[in-house]
Amino acid sequence: MTSLEALGWLGLINAWTFYRFRQDKQRAVFGQWRVSESELLALAFIGGTPAAFAARHLLRHKTRKQPFSTYLTLIAMVQVGVVAGLIVMPSFI
């Protein structure tokens, strides 16, 4: 996967993640069937973490929900660790 493809993937997954958080918020307001927390966390896990945090802040959605908030924070911490490892790793090879 090229850098451009990776950026395209991240753009798409973040747009979709924000959309699904917005959709879940709207469904909550209208008392409709909700988007599952496992789906929202899975979207964050596969690269949508920035959009998940942005949606939580901008839409004021799932900001106090536990253990959702803890899981989202853990996903973000693991992702930061992986990225840091990938940046540092080439210097050890």
C-alpha to C-alpha distance for 69 and 10, rounded to whole angstroms: 21
pLDDT band at residue 63 using 50, 70 and 90 as cut-offs: confident
Between helices 68-88 and 49-59, what is the axis angle to 10°?
140
pLDDT tens readout for residues 1-45 = 788 998 999 999 999 999 999 999 999 999 999 999 999 999 999
Residues of the chain above pLDDT 70, percent: 97
Tell me, what DSSP letter sits at residue 91? G
Q: Is the pLDDT of residue 48 over 80?
A: yes
Q: What is the pTM of this model?
A: 0.89
Which residue is it, tokens 């839409």? 59
Tally Cβ neighbours within 10 Å of residue 11. 12
